Amino acid sequence: MTAQERLARVALGRQDGIGGKTIRRLLEEFGSAQAVLADAGSQPRLRRRVADAIREAATQYAGLAEELAVLEASGIGVAAWGDYPRALQAVAEAPGVLYWQGAPAANADLAALPLQWGDDEWAVAIIGSRCANRSGQVFAQRLAREAVERGFAVVSGLAVGVDRAAHRGALSAGGRTLALPGCGLQQLPAGAPPELVAGIRESGLVLSPFAPDTPVAAPQLLARNRVVTGLALVVFVVEASPQGGTLHAAAGAHAQNRVLYVADWRDDAPRLAGNRHLLARGARPLPVEGRLPWSSILDAAELAAAELAIRTAQSTASG
């Protein structure tokens, strides 16, 4: 991917209605994002919404390099479709663009073409309820610490409850954590603890598929969830209420063929109905007492990584 091709992909990917699935189809049809913009949506077979978005992207393209330079000066980088970690790149619903802020992994190169994510490719997601009780949050911290000790980066959503506990657990073990708020990077929730956000930026990444000035909104949280699970090889559910985003995220993880572990609290509390539902549907049980089954988890992650490598090689060969 050349610098100009990346710029063209960013121009496309940040348009409403153009996500990774549409970009993939356009690249297959036109050969490159630059060719898509050169066509400027004039093909009659394109849906009107997509054609309008392409014309808007072509209009913005000329000034985009300068706009991205301003963002870079403020500490925000951008990844285009094709730049993502392999796990996310393989997801059909991958976003059209991904903004990032923070410290890349020591063996990463986020200025390469395409980007090299290094150790952040080896990641697990820890998700759960905003209303998790103390036991749930303590378990999330433990799970994150032990994941870091085994070389994983920890991905979560920066929300109150399980998410923040997972980020804190990863940082307490000296590891890397990737946070995905449901908003742009310049609009982080007022309730997000400043010291936690600063810690993540210093030794991890804050990521968002939304334009930096995008405020939080409910539909974006669902889109964010797909990226959280998409970045991970293995997904852990700590607490899931009967209604809420965690069950949606778990369903998304299943659709993405992620290995799904669910905390087995052996508790009939209503707030854990989502856990019981997922376990009844075949999710792998994760004991909350005693030793965690890291040997099986590592085997599952290694198998998932190997399958992704094969799919990536096949995709590159066919492209």
Q: CATH 3.40.50.450 region(s) of the chain?
A: 116-306
What's the pLDDT at 17?
81
Q: What angle do CA 298, 302, 304 make, to 5 degrees?
A: 115
Confidence of residue 47 (pLDDT cuts 50, 70, 90): confident
* Span 128-149, average pLDDT: 97
Give the tens place of pLDDT for each residue, 271-301. Answer: 999 999 999 999 999 999 999 999 999 999 9
Of 305, 310, 313, nearest to 123 (Cα)? Answer: 305
Confidence of residue 176 (pLDDT cuts 50, 70, 90): very high
The pTM of this model reads: 0.94
What's the pLDDT at 147?
98
CATH class label, 116-306: alpha beta
What's the pLDDT at 45?
75
Q: Is the peptide bond before 114 cis (omega within 30 degrees of 0)?
A: yes
Confidence of residue 243 (pLDDT cuts 50, 70, 90): confident
What gap in Å lies between CA 196 and CA 277, rounded to an integer?
Answer: 32
Query: Does 219 have pLDDT greater than 90?
Result: no
Query: Does 108 have pLDDT greater than 90?
Result: yes
Of 237, 186, 242, nearest to 215 (Cα)? Answer: 186
Bridge partners for 177 per DSSP: 154
**Looking at 39-53, 242-256, 290-304, which range is the least confident one?**
39-53
* Span 170-193, average pLDDT: 94
Query: Does 318 have pLDDT greater than 70?
Result: no
What gap in Å lies between CA 104 and CA 34, rounded to an integer?
Answer: 28
Query: Does 270 have pLDDT greater than 70?
Result: yes
Measuring CA to CA, how many Å separate 159 from each of 65, 105, 146, 209?
32, 23, 21, 16
Q: State the pairing for strand pair 97-102/77-80.
A: antiparallel
